[in-house]
Structure 1
Amino acid sequence: MSLRIVVCVKYVPDATGDRRFADDLTVDRDDVDGLLSELDEYAVEQALQIAEAAEGAEVTVVTVGPEDAKDALRKALSMGADRAVHVEDDDLHGSDVMGTSLVLAKAIEKTGYDLVVCGMASTDGTMGVLPAVLAERLGVAQVTLVSEVSVQDGIVRGRRDGDTASEQLEASLPAVVSVTDQSGEARYPSFKGIMAAKKKPVASLDLSDLDLEAEEVGLQGAWTVVDSAAERPARTAGTVVKDEGEGGKQLAEFLAGQKFI
């Protein structure tokens, strides 16, 4: 049987945009552009490299999100993934990592997999725990935060780099892997890839397809919620030091007053 690789990707608000909370204290996604999380591009790249080394391997990208999340899937498909799965349901609004991991686990099981590849974290929540929670829900081994990964003879191997040493990790498939932003630059979609992505299949699923109830996900099922939020204060004008012979002294006094020196 050919290797079945599933990549979990996320559609996130553009970090350069003006991000805000909505009235229900979830992230307001309507007034800011979204895109494929940059850290997930590394996961797509590593999945494609593994597939290229394994004859007949197939790469499926999966996301949970609103209608616009298809843009993230199309980006991954244009990079070279074979097909996509989009889980969309109004009752998913407000899902935290526990709800999202539950939905992803159900979708991945329905899709079929040997290896699941994730980014090290999302660029909006930046929690970095979803791969481990997902592996627990699937009941498989996890090889997380690796900067180098390969698959051979039913074994996934990876190198995890720490501050003082590197670890060599391995696990039997099926398994969940997360890769860091040191795993290698993600490829740019070619024009041919962009055109081909338009014809690749994108399956749509909702909660009923995954045998899940609304109260298990969304704000109803969230383990974590935002209780309150306030807008960041507007930036105030800085202090201008005019050098008329005493500039260095004034600068030192200012830094000392701010306890920088």
Structure 2
Amino acid sequence: MKILVFIKQVPESEARVSIGEGGKGFQVEERWEIGYFDAMALEEAIRIKERLGDGEVVVASVGERKAVETLRTAIAMGADRASLIEWDGLSFAHPLSVSRLLATFAQKEGFDLIFCGKKALDDENGCVANMVSLLLGIPLVPNVSRIESRSGKTAVVLSERERKRLLLEVTLPAVFTAEKGLNEPRIPSVSSAIKALGKEIPVVGAYSLVPEETLVWESKGVSPVLFEGPQPRPRVELIEGTAAQKVDRLLEVLKREGVL
């Protein structure tokens, strides 16, 4: 069984982000990782291969050259191969353009199953898997929290929906997106990380898969106008003392702030 896993390099949750002057652009601290849901998708693909005792897990990502290091992490986790679809236009690329690149890669690579995270944790678009399935003309099962069984050309999976769960039998090939609770992604060992350093990561030019004019046309229709950071949190004052002292102090603060 050949499983493709599409991942995205995203900033670490603690990486600093600063907004440019006048809200024109932003800068991200150079601390990157595999997105949380993407890591679960990769972990599940590896587990399926391990259960079957056969198969191949191939990881692909669309991004800049620096995303190679994130792909090495995927190999350290247990992926067999990884490829980077290099495209410097990713920062403001339309999800359809990214989906078209991944779908074209999948057609050339061949697959039995495609796994993605349910969304990336930077832009939270959550629509690439949907578009990939449409472009390939294969079923999509979103928010998979458990794979019950797989037999021949079908799989039985549990899909989390708003206020309900669906147990679905799906014809393969298909696209699955990983939901929280599917698994706990493994942390690569030091020896696996060292071995991954010696692995070659093929780099495929975006325009060798999809014509430049197509990608540019799809992406130029949407462009950011203004970036804004979160509003600063209000100051929090902790009131200590006896119950009576707390009440007196609270009334004093409320009057000072004009609430009373």
Q: What TM-score results when the alignment is normalised by the length of structure 2? A: 0.85
Pair 1:182–1:94, CA change in 2 (3 A): same
Q: How does 1:165-184 map to 2 (within 5 A)?
A: 165-184=164-183
Opposite residue 208 of structure 2, the aligned amino acid is: D
Contact 2:118 2:143 in 1 (8 A): yes
RMSD: 2.9
Of 103, 114, 121, which residue of structure 2 is paired with 1:123?
121
Contact 2:96 2:218 in 1 (8 A): no
Aligned to 2:108: 110
Aligned to 2:247: 248
- CA deviations over 1:51-74 (Å, ceiling 9, x no partner): 112243100000011121112111
Q: Distance in 1 between matches of 2:95 and 2:202?
A: 23
Q: Distance in 2 between matches of 1:256 and 1:193?
A: 61
Opposite residue 136 of structure 1, the aligned amino acid is: L
Number of residue equivalences = 255
Structure 1 residue 163, shift from structure 2 partner: 5.5
Contact 2:37 2:118 in 1 (8 A): yes
Aligned to 2:57: 59
Pair 1:78–1:117, CA change in 2 (3 A): same
Opposite residue 13 of structure 2, the aligned amino acid is: A
Pair 1:216–1:255, CA change in 2 (3 A): farther
Aligned to 1:156: 155
Gaps of 5+ in 1: none
- CA deviations over 1:70-107 (Å, ceiling 9, x no partner): 12111110010000010113344421322211111112
- CA deviations over 1:198-218 (Å, ceiling 9, x no partner): 2334211112320321x4336
Q: How does 1:112-261 map to 2 (within 5 A)?
A: 112-149=110-147, 150-162=149-161, 164-213=163-212, 215-217=213-215, 221-235=219-233, 237-239=235-237, 241=239, 243=241, 245-251=244-250
Aligned to 1:72: 70
Opposite residue 8 of structure 2, the aligned amino acid is: K
Structure 1 residue 239, shift from structure 2 partner: 4.4
Contact 1:26 1:94 in 2 (8 A): no
Please state whether the residue corresponding to 2:202 is helix, strand or coil.
strand
Of 35, 50, 67, which residue of structure 1 is paired with 2:48?
50
- CA deviations over 1:184-209 (Å, ceiling 9, x no partner): 11111123322332233421111232
Pair 1:251–1:209, CA change in 2 (3 A): same
Please state whether the residue corresponding to 2:92 is helix, strand or coil.
coil
Q: Distance in 2 between matches of 1:229 and 1:92?
A: 17
Pair 1:252–1:188, CA change in 2 (3 A): farther
- CA deviations over 1:209-246 (Å, ceiling 9, x no partner): 20321x43368625543222234455554446465844
Contact 1:19 1:32 in 2 (8 A): no
Q: Distance in 2 between matches of 1:138 and 1:252?
A: 64
Please state whether the residue corresponding to 2:188 is helix, strand or coil.
coil
Contact 1:96 1:218 in 2 (8 A): no
Q: Distance in 1 between matches of 2:245 and 2:140?
A: 60
Of 37, 41, 48, which residue of structure 1 is paired with 2:39?
41
Contact 2:101 2:210 in 1 (8 A): no
Q: Distance in 1 between matches of 2:217 and 2:246?
A: 55
Q: Distance in 1 between matches of 2:4 and 2:168?
A: 20
Please state whether the residue corresponding to 1:193 is helix, strand or coil.
helix
Q: Distance in 1 between matches of 2:158 and 2:256?
A: 46
Pair 1:14–1:248, CA change in 2 (3 A): same
